[in-house]
Amino acid sequence: MQVRVLSFGVLKDRLGSAAATVELPEGATVAALLERLSSGQPAPELRGIAVSVNAEYAQAALVLHDGDEIGLLPPVSGGSDNGPDLSVIGALGCISAVSLCRGHIDSERLIASIKRDEDGAVVVFDGIVRNHTRGRKTLFLDYEAYEEMADKQMRELAAEALERFGVRQVSIVHRLGRLNVGETSVLIVVASAHRAEAFEACRWLIDTLKKTVPIWKKETFVDGAVWAPGEPFPAGLGVEPPEASHES
């Protein structure tokens, strides 16, 4: 059988290709695929990654099938099927309840669109590109995503926040592509009758998004460019590659 393997972020650079077709025997698992990719040699570039199968996080024991799409996901930087969903506002940029976009995020318009008379609080997280990181001057950032999976994960986060914290509405918008210093990379807006729940939901959303939604950031400085190191995946999502064989 054949499966399609997609690499993202730093893995795309280290493995030399964003996409490849791999031949596997029937009944092969995710672990067998990682063993094939490591070719019996140490594979430090595969350590600490997560693996998706058809845009869902998967464990090492999952059995693969012909035509499956496998995502190799380095630690990320950076729903409900009938949830609120506004449309993208052309030249004004993005203004949807949950979306990925490549245009300017119109923060003021999105925040204004959420407010209702029954709300006692609207809490906003506006993540912006700063002009330095770890003592190096930043020129610009490039964001990329496994878009199908990222969109689904963001919608699921929004739905979970509504249920977990009892807030009225959640909006999440994340930019992709090139961003300059001072531009918004991610905007999270939570509306609720009470401020405590709104604050808690907003903090949980950005912290969880940064660990689980497959979006990666490449930082370009005056003296070079690197993929930003991500936080380790939460327990249960990471998949370790097989150890190298020491047989002679």
Whats the size of the chain, residue-wise? 248
The first and second tokens of residue 248, run together, are 């002679």
If you compute the radius of gyration of the chain from its CA atoms, what whole number of angstroms results? 20
Q: What is the pLDDT of residue 85?
A: 40
Domains, the chain: 2-73 (3.10.20.30), 90-227 (3.90.1170.40)
Distance of CA 208 to the CA centre of its chain: 10
The first and second tokens of residue 227, run together, are 């993929």
Q: What is the pLDDT of residue 79?
A: 32
Q: What is the pLDDT of residue 58?
A: 94
Q: What is the pLDDT of residue 18?
A: 79
> In the block, which residue shows the tokens 């464990």?
59
The first and second tokens of residue 39, run together, are 């070719």
Q: What is the pLDDT of residue 161?
A: 94
Shortest CA distance to 45 belongs to which of 11, 70, 88?
11
Q: What is the pLDDT of residue 41?
A: 52
Q: What is the pLDDT of residue 63?
A: 97
User: What average pLDDT values come out for the chain (248 residues) when binned by 10 residues?
Assistant: 93 81 95 83 70 94 96 74 35 60 91 93 96 92 95 93 93 96 96 96 96 95 90 80 49
